[in-house]
């Protein structure tokens, strides 16, 4: 019998009770150096190595919480003919490939789920398709193992992202179908596309949305999340009558390692955060803005000195730990590039990150975090529960080249409340 859980995420650090993952598959290899940039990659990945590293992430999480795989969840809902028809029609209409609708309908659910993720091969059965340079009628979802971006567990609802790039839009469609139809979750979804006043300029991706506290959202204004997207989120918060705060951090459009806020800032504990110091702590033209809502209205918008001091003023006194250490800007840049600031909290003070960022790990250790190896946790040699503060390190030589870290690869659906 399937156990149904209510979605609920009111912080970044509450003890994890459920998380959605996606094991990288052939969609990661279904690209070449010439089209990798179109797939939003700066390089092509070795799948066998990426999977080996990914199994460390999934294995550790499996020791502390319930994990769900996107492909399994998708396959389950596709067993229902009405859901299957509706999803195929939506995808085919949206991507203008109605000619393959009947082919997709004939596929059994597990195979359909696979092809919707790994790509549907273009049949060379007409002059048009024969002369086409495209390999796929439905392109692979190269980035789907970064499950963070396509949907956001925001308090008691799930916000469906409005992705910045067309190559990722199907991810959001799939996640909406899962949350609307899966028996594993009880929730309601909010999709910007269902609002008449939302246009092309509205962009929202989950890597930019951090739930700092039940009354504080921290949102990155990046190349992937627009001011209009942030305004959409703010408008959803207006339904809450209690006081709410939205802290907006502007980000550069380049380099590409600054793609989302969680690449330069993540929360580690009730009193600690990871920061890319040059952007988050130093003066720059990228502003930190505090929006205050009361009784369903925005009552003030003001500029603040920086993100950490703004949160301190709101009662979150966080010790900023520096990605790459605090002494060498070159080391900071190198480790931030490989997701050195991108940590995922399993519980307060218990986080996951890449082992390759050795200077960041040294800085974590100086600040009281025990360094544990993923394989030791998986084998039972050590237990996360036995440590008050720890960082479990996973391999990242290949996964990091996809452009994300542990937070990017995890979409929490439920966390326990934090006793602040």
Q: What is the pLDDT of residue 34?
A: 58
The whole-number pLDDT of residue 387 equals 95
Q: How is the chain split into domains, by residue range?
A: 5-84+140-415
Structure tokens at 360: 């960041």
Q: Which residues contact 188 (CB under 8 A, 6 or more apart)?
A: 156, 157, 158
Residue 46's CB: how many other CB atoms inside 10 A? 13
Q: Where are the beta strands (DSSP E) in 118-167?
A: 120-121, 136-138, 151-154, 157-160
DSSP H or E stretch at residue 16: strand 16-21
pLDDT of residue 239: 86
Positions in the chain short of pLDDT 70: 31-43
Label residues 342-351 b or e (16+ Cβ within 10 Å = b): bbbbbbbbbb
The pLDDT score that the predictor gives to residue 418 is: 97
For 313-359, write each residue's pLDDT tens digit.
999 999 999 999 988 999 999 999 999 999 999 999 999 999 999 99
What's the pLDDT at 29?
A: 81
Q: Which CATH number fits domain 5-84+140-415: 3.30.200.20, 3.40.50.1360, 1.10.150.120, 3.75.10.10?
A: 3.75.10.10
Identify the residue whose tokens are 């439920």. Answer: 414
pLDDT digits (tens, 9 = 90+) for 41-70: 556 788 899 999 999 999 999 999 999 999
Q: What pLDDT does residue 256 have? A: 73
Place of tokens 């490989």: 338
Ramachandran angles phi, psi of 219, nearest 5°: -130, 135
The structure's pTM equals 0.95
């Amino acid at each position: 019998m399937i156990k149904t859980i209510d979605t609920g995420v009111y912080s970044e650090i509450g003890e994890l009770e459920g998380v959605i993952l996606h094991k990288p598959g052939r969609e990661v290899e279904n690209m070449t150096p010439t089209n990798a940039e179109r797939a939003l990659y700066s390089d092509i990945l070795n799948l066998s190595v990426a999977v080996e590293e990914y199994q460390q992430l999934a294995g550790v999480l499996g020791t502390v919480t319930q994990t769900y795989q996107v492909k399994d969840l998708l396959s389950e809902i596709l067993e229902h003919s009405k859901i299957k028809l509706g999803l195929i029609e939506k995808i085919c209409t949206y991507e203008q490939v109605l000619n393959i609708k009947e082919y997709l309908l004939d596929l059994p659910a597990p195979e359909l789920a696979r092809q919707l993720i790994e790509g549907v091969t273009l049949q060379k059965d007409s002059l048009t398709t024969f002369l086409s340079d495209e390999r796929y009628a439905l392109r692979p979802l190269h980035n789907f193992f970064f499950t963070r971006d396509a949907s956001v567990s925001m308090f008691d609802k799930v916000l469906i992202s409005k992705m910045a790039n067309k190559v990722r839009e199907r991810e959001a469609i799939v996640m909406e179908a899962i949350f609307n139809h899966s028996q594993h979750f009880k929730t309601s979804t909010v999709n910007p596309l269902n609002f008449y006043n939302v246009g092309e300029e509205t962009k929202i991706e989950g890597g930019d949305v951090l739930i700092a506290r039940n009354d504080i959202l921290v949102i990155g204004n990046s190349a992937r999340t627009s001011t209009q997207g942030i305004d959409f989120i703010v408008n959803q918060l207006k339904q809450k009558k209690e006081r709410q705060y939205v802290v907006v951090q502007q980000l550069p459009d380049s380099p590409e390692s600054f793609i989302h806020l969680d690449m330069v800032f993540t929360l580690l504990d009730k009193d600690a955060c990871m920061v890319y110091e040059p952007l988050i702590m130093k003066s720059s033209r990228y502003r930190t803005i505090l929006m205050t809502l009361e009784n369903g209205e925005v009552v003030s918008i003001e500029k603040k000195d920086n993100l950490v001091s703004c949160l301190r003023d709101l009662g979150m006194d966080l010790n900023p730990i520096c990605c790459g250490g605090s002494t060498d800007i070159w080391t900071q840049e190198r480790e931030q590039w490989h997701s050195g600031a991108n940590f995922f909290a399993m519980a307060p003070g218990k986080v996951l990150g890449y082992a390759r960022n050795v200077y960041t790990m040294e800085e974590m250790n100086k600040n009281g975090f025990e360094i544990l190896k993923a394989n030791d946790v998986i084998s039972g040699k050590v237990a996360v529960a036995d440590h008050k503060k720890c960082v479990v390190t996973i391999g990242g030589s290949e996964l990091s080249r996809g452009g994300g870290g542990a937070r990017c690869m995890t979409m929490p659906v439920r966390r326990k409340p934090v006793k602040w």
